[in-house]
Structure 1
């Protein structure tokens, strides 16, 4: 009997030990699973964000014919456009972006995955976009100083050549005669830095050696006229001049937000304007102080007496602060939520989330 009891105790202890080991393994696996899930979720969340929101540099990317979404993601990661090619592949498939096209693109680490995917859906150029000369890209929201720098990099002309042309009265008057409806209101503004600010449409232009600087600019103004012409009547129906519409559109463009938020921001701008409040557009203060988006505003910047400082002055200011797209113009012509009385918007610089408030604050 004693031997049997000892044997049973041994078997029971071994069974209990086995259970403990089994439960320990299960617990460890559960902890590992939770850790992997949390880490994976955080990794996915971070990878969905722009690689570097503050890096506005433009990188040429070639997407070969027949490249799979997985291959495209790998190319974008190698070119340091996205954090993870695997996550980009997951994003385009989960959002049903099934028609990404081949070609040459100019992309930036500051772009969201949605912006990159939409650009790849629209199709690229069949020729390289970058080089010493040949192809000149005006980016969304670029102002004349930005374009001057691009002209120097992509053509045989200097930035000074371009800026001198921007104040050449004979050249400007020739454009006014050619595009009277487009440019009439711009010429009536007395305090704008450049008559053509806002009228050099974001697109890619021919800047080969045999193309004159005047022709390059004429391409830009002609493109603006082509894009805006279908909207002339609606702009007039809103009791806006072309210059006023482009000015408001340039404010929306400077925020780099979604179409829906662009329309809501337009609603806030109208509400402030209709309530005789300064628009308090920070990008207008940056323009007044000749600062780009990578620089921070300081207290003295808000005291600048430039007519573009819309923290000091009411109204829309002298004119556009950059070159907006039709999407931003459409936001101005189709504002949202004006009836909610929003007077302030706040854009999160990192994730571009926008909050709206119906009360006055010191700044937006």
Structure 2
């Protein structure tokens, strides 16, 4: 009996151990399964967070850019008295001037932009957030725009401005040019805006004294207006913008004509503010080294035509405006630049760059310190 009892107990113990082992194995399986589920959930959550982060970044980045850079549409909006920045943001988004009200509002807070004013405004989807904010701070019209509107886009020459006037009014482009070159009228403008126009009128060999001084903006006039009023308003706008820069120009021992001239080249040579400050640096470095500025924009202006490719023969064009053949600034501006280009001109990046070129397919600008580096970039991005 005792021996059989021991055997029975031994079998029971074995059975218990087996059951315990099976339970442990089962628990381990469950733990592994739970871990797999947890890791799967964590992986999915991390992936979703990454996707959300990338999507959010792309959305915010695109919202900081103009809604439509190619748009020529003008949209009239009203900012009621007492509107908050949130109200203004919603109005701009609703009228399709900006992409996102929330991003615009965040941008305003981040840069501590205030003093927005009530009134009627003409905005375009091609405007940058900085341009929209500046307009809101300068103030709108107390009444809705219902007269004649004339649009002067950034980088237009005076002859192209004249064409814009002809399209929007009953005046001919030739009438505009005739008034813009009238000596008595120019002296009158100089008397009214001496800081702005003295160096322009004193410059030699200029094709048009007012080239560069017809500020890019949308102008609204009543039905009864003269060409003299149109031109004076454009010059007045330029003077208003330049007021904040006159002291800096004096400190740099430059003339307004020189600043506007460089700005007109920079307007057409670069698109972003960052590129423009570097291009300004290249021009200043070349001037200091007594090298020609060698801008294709100057050659095209001398030729008075638009071309995609400037030839070696074009570079030999006999004109004081050809800055391949002539050192220095030339007679004067080559178009009517934006404030962004003017600001870039007065705030150049500190570099040793002497050359730059733009990849016409991507718009990216490449800079170099030596001619050898420049040639490598030409072969890489320009030479077919």
Q: TM-score range by the shorter chain?
A: 0.7 to 0.9
Change (3 A) 1:357 1:155: same
Unaligned stretches of 5+ in structure 2?
1-14
| Cα displacement string for residues 148-191 of structure 1 (whole angstroms, at most 9, x for unaligned residues) | 24423544434343234345xxx333423662663575475336
Give me the whole-angstrom Cα distance separating, in 1, the residues matched to 2:276 and 2:292.
Answer: 19
Paired residue secondary structure (1:179): helix
TM-score by length of 1: 0.73
> Would the aligned equivalents of 1:266 and 1:335 in 2 still touch at CA under 8 Å?
yes
1:62 equivalenced with 2:78 (yes/no): yes
Give me the whole-angstrom Cα distance separating, in 1, the residues matched to 2:85 and 2:279.
Answer: 34
> Would the aligned equivalents of 1:268 and 1:345 in 2 still touch at CA under 8 Å?
yes
1:77 equivalenced with 2:93 (yes/no): yes
1:303 equivalenced with 2:314 (yes/no): yes
Number of equivalent positions: 352
Q: For the aligned residues, what is the CA RMSD?
A: 4.4
Give the aligned partner of residue 231 of structure 2: 217
Equivalences for residues 88-237 of structure 1 within 5 A: 88-129=104-145, 131=146, 133=148, 135-136=149-150, 138-167=152-181, 171-176=182-187, 179=190, 182=197, 185-186=200-201, 189-190=204-205, 192=207, 194-202=208-216, 205=219, 207-221=221-235
> Would the aligned equivalents of 1:273 and 1:315 in 2 still touch at CA under 8 Å?
yes
1:358 equivalenced with 2:363 (yes/no): no
Give the aligned partner of residue 26 of structure 1: 42
> Would the aligned equivalents of 1:302 and 1:309 in 2 still touch at CA under 8 Å?
no
Change (3 A) 1:341 1:326: same
Give me the whole-angstrom Cα distance separating, in 2, the residues matched to 1:234 and 1:11.
Answer: 78
Change (3 A) 1:58 1:284: farther
> Would the aligned equivalents of 2:147 and 2:221 in 1 still touch at CA under 8 Å?
no
Unaligned stretches of 5+ in structure 1?
none
